[in-house]
Amino acid sequence: MIGKLRRRFIITAMLSVTAVLVVLIGAINLFNFMDVIKNADAVLDILTANNGGFPDEMPQPPGGDPFGFPGDMRRGQMSPEMQYEARFFTVYLDEDGTVIIIDTGRIAAVDSKAAANIGLTIYSSGKARGFIGDYRYRVSDMGEGVSCIVFYDCGRSLDNARAFLWISLIISAVGLLIFFVLIAVSSKAVVKPAADAYERQKRFITDAGHELKTPLAVIKADCDVLEMDDDGDNEWLADIRKQTERMTELTNRLIYLAKTQEGSKSELKKIEFPLSDMVSEEVESFKGPAISSGKELETDIAPGISYNGDPKALAGLVSILMENAVKYSPEGGKIKASLQKNGSKILLSVYNDTAEPVSQDDMKHMFDRFYRTDKSRNSETGGYGIGLSIAKGVTEAHGGNIYATGSGKGITVTAEL
């Protein structure tokens, strides 16, 4: 249990930090990419407005600041060096889609033939702006059926954006790894108060249970002596004996429940044994009580299933599930025990009809100690409210999982081994 709590703490912390990093890194890189597009579109707007070229005089930054980086925007103004640094080419087409002019004088990576093919591809797509490879383009109408497509080379800016993305991802991955190591080391100290409280609780249950055994044994022995002296039936002594036996059984179950918690795996005596035969024998022992209470019992137990586990503990698991099914199903109700193999898992399930539908909330808490639903699970039925808790402990001690599902007036408890 403490191990599960520690793992959940680590997983929750890692997921939270990962989510924050994904949002931050994603937002930073998105804004970085949007800035590349913004600057490219600003250059394309100038080129388009000047028929595929830069004006003779670029606008100067406010204050006459002579410093500027090519491609950067400074207070809404383009660097005057941009016209010397920019790489672009222009393709003009008529209304029939025929290339009439190609200008590749400001770029060396693209020849006239390649420029024409790229221009025709963009013209036929019907898009006004976008990317083709590392080139940002804009289509404008020059009048008289002539279209001008300007392609601006954003390769350097995009390479920088991609490099920044990879660097940020690598740094984030390293940061997450470091955080995982730190949280894994510190998680032990974080869950220590809960672990100590749990250990104290488990020790208290075990110690109190052993301490109760002696006075209960004395009370039972005194009842035997008094019954011999009384020479007859005494309803008060019979009631004392009944409640003493009930307390003794409850004490034994509480001690067993404590043993099935943390550290119980080492206490299991695992051997390879025929699980199908054991389940059949346990279920068969409940046929009499089921029939006598007017209930129908069915079985669907696959033969030949073997399992490496503790036979005594697993027999107790089957007994608990069957006892609950017989006890809480209404008269005339149906009970079905099933054992099947599904891949690497073995599914032990017990179904029983219920007098009323069981809510989802009840099914979530059904394996909690001393939990009973308002209508069907109460002390009048003879239960203690810890049977399914023991079943859960036994299942988890074997590395499995147990859960309840309901459909209408019926409930199925399934143990996956």
Rounded Cα–Cα distance for residues 287 and 264 (Å):
31
pLDDT of residue 239: 76
Does a structural domain hold residue 170?
no
Answer with the residue of higher pLDDT: 77 or 225: 225
Domain that holds residue 309: 268-416
Does a structural domain hold residue 177?
no
Pairing relationship of beta strands 296-301 and 334-342 according to DSSP bridges: parallel
Q: Could you tell me the CATH number of the domain that includes residue 135?
A: 3.40.1840.10
Does a structural domain hold residue 63?
yes
User: In terms of domains, do 272 and 155 share one?
Assistant: no
How does pLDDT run across 229-240, given as a tens digit for each residue?
766 567 777 778
Q: Which of 139, 159, 179 is the last residue of a domain?
A: 159
| Secondary structure (DSSP) of 314-327 | HHHHHHHHHHHHHH
What are the φ and ψ backbone dihedral angles of 416, each rounded to 5 degrees? -95, 120
Q: Considering only CA atoms, give the Rg of the chain.
A: 39
Q: Could you tell me the CATH number of the domain that includes residue 297?
A: 3.30.565.10
Span 196-222, average pLDDT: 72
How does pLDDT run across 197-206, given as a tens digit for each residue?
766 666 766 6
Residue 88 contacts residue 136 (beta carbons within 8 Å): no
How does pLDDT run across 362-384, given as a tens digit for each residue?
777 777 766 665 444 444 455 55
| Alpha helices in 306-377, H assignment, sequence order | 311-328, 360-365
User: In terms of domains, do 397 and 277 share one?
Assistant: yes
How does pLDDT run across 387-412, given as a tens digit for each residue?
788 888 888 888 889 888 887 788 89
Does a structural domain hold residue 306?
yes
pLDDT of residue 66: 43
> Which pTM value belongs to this model?
0.53
User: In terms of domains, do 288 and 150 share one?
Assistant: no
Does a structural domain hold residue 96?
yes
Q: How confident is the model at residue 138 (pLDDT cuts 50, 70, 90)?
A: very high
Residue 279: Cβ within 10 Å count: 25
Does a structural domain hold residue 197?
no
Query: What is the overall mean pLDDT for the chain?
Result: 81
Q: Which of 124, 142, 159 is the last residue of a domain?
A: 159
How does pLDDT run across 144-189, given as a tens digit for each residue?
888 999 999 999 999 999 999 999 999 999 999 999 999 988 888 8
Q: Give the distance from CA 46 to its chain's centroid.
A: 51
* CA dihedral of 113, 118, 121, 123, whole degrees rounded to 10: -100
Count of structural domains, the chain:
2
**Bridge partners (DSSP) listed for residue 273:** 307
Q: Which of 159, 188, 221 is the last residue of a domain?
A: 159
pLDDT of residue 231: 63
Under DSSP, is residue 352 helix (H, G, I), strand (E, B) or coil? strand
Rounded Cα–Cα distance for residues 230 and 224 (Å):
10
Rounded Cα–Cα distance for residues 306 and 301 (Å):
12
Residue 90 contacts residue 103 (beta carbons within 8 Å): yes
Element (H, E) at 24: helix 2-49
Does a structural domain hold residue 199?
no
Does a structural domain hold residue 285?
yes
| Alpha helices in 72-154, H assignment, sequence order | 82-85, 112-125
Question: Which residue in the block uniquely carries the two structure tokens 């793992």?
Answer: 7
